[in-house]
Structure 1
Amino acid sequence: LVWADAGYAGRMVTFATKVLAFTVEIVKRADDQVGFKLLHRRWVVERTFAWISKYRRCVRDYERRIDTSEAMIHTAMIMTMSRRLAR
């Protein structure tokens, strides 16, 4: 299950369902909403991006190959999770 912002609705949902075999759930805000309101599950994505951005090589796109960039993201998450498990 993948949660996505309303900006990703449309072709991305179709691609993820057909090609990647993921179930995509779009998190939308209410039409009458004014100001900030915490959306269900959206904070999980924002928090994860913040954890990844703590590592310098993940902040900018230094890598030339996609697999190297993906490896840096895996490394950042491994380091984050291992620190949390070591507590």
Structure 2
Amino acid sequence: MLAPVASRLSRAETVFADQAYQGLEEAINSELDWRLQIVESEEDSGFSVEPKRWIVERTYGWFGGWRRLDREQERRTDSSETMVRFAMLRITLNRLG
């Protein structure tokens, strides 16, 4: 299941994950030779920003202006992936100039 992802992310070494993915640690380490790092939360402190999570949430927020990414409208996964890449290209170009 993870092999197609590994071929596209050949430079990846560490995968940051939520505590819900703790059971996949052995599979990811053995199949992909990646290190799974579970991000621990500080439960006793109330609200706190989780490390690395804000990067993902911010990126999803940028996609809010793209209607085709707002809902799953594409029939094929490669079309959906292309739209994500196109959106990130436009976002990056807008930030550069």
Query: TM over 0.5, yes or no?
Result: yes
TM-score (norm 1): 0.78
1:20 Cα deviation from its structure 2 partner: 4.8
The verdict on how the C-alpha distance between 1:21 and 1:5 changes in structure 2, with shifts beyond 3 A counting, is same
Secondary structure, in 3 states, of the residue corresponding to 1:28? coil
**Unpaired runs of at least 5, structure 2:** 1-13
Report the AA paired with residue 52 of structure 2. Answer: R
Q: Which residue of 1 aligns with 2:35?
A: 23
CA RMSD in angstroms, aligned pairs only: 1.9
User: Normalization by structure 2: what TM-score?
Assistant: 0.71
Bigger Cα displacement from structure 2, 47-56 vs 23-32: 23-32
Could you tell me which residue of structure 1 aligns to residue 44 of structure 2?
32
* Superposed displacement of residue 6, structure 1: 1.8
* Higher RCO (CA < 8 A, seq sep 6+): 1
Q: Identity, % of aligned pairs?
A: 38
Question: Structure 1 residues 81 and 18 mapped into 2: Cα distance closer, same or farther (>3 Å)?
Answer: farther
Residue ranges of structure 1 left out of the alignment (5+ in a row): none
2: distance between equivalents of 1:5 and 1:31?
14
With over 3 angstroms needed to count, the CA separation of the structure-2 counterparts of 1:22 and 1:32, relative to structure 1, is same
Q: Report how far residue 51 of structure 1 moved.
A: 1.1
Give the aligned length.
Answer: 84
1:63–1:16 Cα change, 3 Å: farther
